[in-house]
Amino acid sequence: MFLGRSNVGKSSLINRLVGKKGLARTSALPGRTQSVNFYRINEAWNFVDLPGYGYARVPEAVRRKWRPMIEGYLERRARRIALALMVLDARHAPSELDHTMRDWLEARGVGYLVVATKADKLSGNARERSRAELASSIGGSPVAEPILFSATTGLGLREVWRWVDQALEKGRP
């Protein structure tokens, strides 16, 4: 399951992982993904693309729909989520909503991985700083340290897959 702020790059991350550019719809405008989308990746598992949260410019009607839709999905499926990928923008500190999501995942024992994407927009030094800052703020995930990722260059691709593979081996659909 992929969750995070609107426009952070969740759908692009899915496309890069699967290696199909147009699989999940992406857009430069926030609020592209407006419903819970399932992409079957093998006989047993789906990648679940969720609409992003917390973007002020997303129309009010979309925001009003988000909460019940996402909360409903999460509450019903919590025990069947093999891994939550918390997608953050490598350039920005996690928002309060990101922390709220992380707390929710921890409270329900859902394993998660912090993926800091759009890392191609940072220089090498800034990347390391971002990784360290995320590790001390939202990191400390039970799974792993934050992973720097780029859907554009493929940075972090193998590392993310390693954790996804491991989670799917352990989990039961």
Name the minimum Å distance from CB 32 to Mg ion.
5
Would you give the DSSP letter of residue 27? -
Q: Which does 27 bind (CB under 5 to 8 A by kind): ligand GTP, Mg ion, none?
A: ligand GTP
Nearer to Mg ion, 118 or 127 (CB): 118
75 vs 155: CA distance, rounded Å: 32
Nearer to ligand GTP, 28 or 107 (CB): 28
| Residues of the shown chain interacting with ligand GTP in the complex, contacts defined by CB under 6 A | 6-12, 26-28, 30-33, 51-52, 117-118, 120-121, 150-152
Only one residue has tokens 């729909």, namely 65
Site for Mg ion, residues 19 to 78, rule: CB under 5 A: 32-33
Name every residue whose Cβ is closer than 8 Å to that of residue 32 and which is 6 or more positions away in sequence: 7, 11, 25, 26
Binding residue for Mg ion, selected from 1, 4, 9, 11, defined by CB under 5 A: 11
Only one residue has tokens 């405008």, namely 29
Residue nearest to ligand GTP (CB): 52
Please report, in angstroms and rounded to a whole number, the separation of the first and last CA atoms in the chain.
13
Q: What is the C-alpha R_g of the chain?
A: 15
Interface ranges with Mg ion (CB under 5 A): 10-11, 32-33
